[in-house]
Amino acid sequence: MSAFRRYAFRPSRRGVPGRRTAGRPAGRPLVSTMWFLGPYLLSFTAAWIYGFVYRRRESSLGALHAVLLGHIFVIYGYIWFAAGWWGLWRAVTGKRTWLKTARS
């Protein structure tokens, strides 16, 4: 018996014994909380630091407001990241048009 068959058809330890769903044991979630927590921590840990520093500099600012502003700053950075990739794509594909507001 191949190694794949031994693994794929072995009895599960949770849920109905021997029953498998989409290659995972029955009763286990398909998506782990780490799929959301990991990218959040990688992206927004700096937001907590920004908020903490800004809170110390501005005494009139609440802690929750400072953390919210830190998150908005990170999202603002992602907007420029997307704009840069969009500009690179336009340069690679040879688009040279520039749509401006019509002047009267």
SS3 50: helix
pLDDT in tens, 12-57: 555 555 555 555 566 667 777 888 888 888 888 888 888 888 888 8
Contacts of 25 (CB under 8 A, 6+ apart): 12, 13, 14, 15
How many helices (H) and strands (E) are present in the chain, helices listed first? Answer: 3, 2
Q: What is the rounded average pLDDT of the residues 9-13?
A: 56
Q: Which tokens in the block code for residue 15?
A: 């849920």
Question: Residue 92's pLDDT is what?
Answer: 94
Task: Report pLDDT digits (tens) over 45-92.
Answer: 888 888 888 888 888 888 888 888 888 888 898 899 999 999 999 999
What is the DSSP-derived secondary structure letter of residue 16?
S
